[in-house]
Amino acid sequence: MQQNALSRVSSQKKGIALDRELTEAEVSAVVEMALSDHISFDTIKREFGVAEKDVKALMRSRLKPGSYRAWRKRVRDFSDRREHYK
């Protein structure tokens, strides 16, 4: 229960507006899905109710700065090449 409260508080501090409170396991699943090149933001939204901008904010709060920049670059590069990528 303490972990949930921490997750909610850290989400509120980071300006992440979620439809519902996510458990730590769900947050980890969202991060893992976002890191995958095969799962779109739409899939994450359907499964967890987390919008693209909130996934980006969550990733920024969870990843090291260099890892976040590399992930965003990868997502941008792939989205330029594929119409329906992330």
Taking only the tens place, the pLDDT of each residue in 16-63 is 666 678 999 999 999 999 999 889 999 999 999 999 999 999 999 999
Task: Please tell me the pTM assigned to this model.
Answer: 0.73
DSSP string, the chain: -HHHHHHHHHHHHTT---SSPPPHHHHHHHHHHHH-TT--HHHHHHHH---HHHHHHHHHHHS-HHHHHHHHHHHHHHHHH-TT--
Q: Is the pLDDT of residue 66 over 90?
A: yes
Residue ranges of domains in the chain:
2-81
